Structure 1
Amino acid sequence: PKSIPLDRAAPLLCAGITVYSPMRHYGVKAGDSVAVVGLGGLGHMGVKIARAMGARVTVLSTSPSKKDDALKLGADDFAATSDPSVFKNLAGTFDFILDTVSAPHDYNAY
């Protein structure tokens, strides 16, 4: 929109294409269940774009304090992955997992 200065919109485009591209490539569509791992700058955009694509979105984060933010951004659900049993309960429930975390972590847990 014209109301957003270019210097403020540019970072949104970078983060946006970073998360949109894999979702488009792997065919995320309306009705799919998408997990967004992490709720930083990329995770925020991942939630917004996955919702815009019609997906049901669950945010996975080690920080339980991010639940309210995740839901305000449009996530349908939130799971705190600091509890290992969460992975057992969610196993096989997602059509697509978007990992936005740059810190080292166990990818196989997801």
Structure 2
Amino acid sequence: MSERFVVRFPAGVPLDRGAPLLCAGVTVYSPLRRHGLGAPGKHVGVAGLGVLGHVAVKFARALGARVKVVNSSPAKRREALERLGADAFDVQDF
């Protein structure tokens, strides 16, 4: 096994709070970085505000990108904009 796949949890971080970052986190973080999208001045679109969408918004914003969420439910607008920090929100039927 390669040590590059090992992640040390910081002291005090409960495993149940950090575990989602190991699955959903790598699923969105890796392509953001690989394609150069998680950077200041870049624009990222997030389709759907499920588990991956939540993490994608948080990571993209933390990396400096502007984020637009597109979701089929207008009820997710407030969560996307106010709670997660998305820059824009649009409702579309998928």
TM-score scaled by length of structure 1: 0.70
Work out the percentage of aligned pairs sharing the same amino acid. 58
Report whether the alignment pairs 1:57 with 2:57: no
Q: Deviations 1:54-78 (Å, cap 9, x if unpaired)? A: 1100000011110000012010110
- 1:35 partner SS: strand
TM (norm. structure 2) is 0.81
2:25 and 2:18 mapped to 1: Cα distance? 10
Gaps of 5+ in 2: 1-9
Q: Which amino acid aligns with 2:18?
A: A
Aligned residues: 83
Find the aligned partners of 1:7 and 1:70 in 2 and give their Cα distance.
23
Q: Does 1:45 align with 2:55?
A: yes
Q: Please give the root-mean-square deviation of Cα atoms over the aligned residues, in Å.
A: 1.3
In the TM superposition, what whole-angstrom CA distance separates every residue of 1:1-44 from its partner, at most 9, and x where no partner exists? 53331133112221111101011111112111110011111100
Runs of 4+ in 1 over 6 A off after TM superposition: none
**Higher relative contact order, structure no. (Cα contacts within 8 Å, ≥ 6 residues apart):** 1
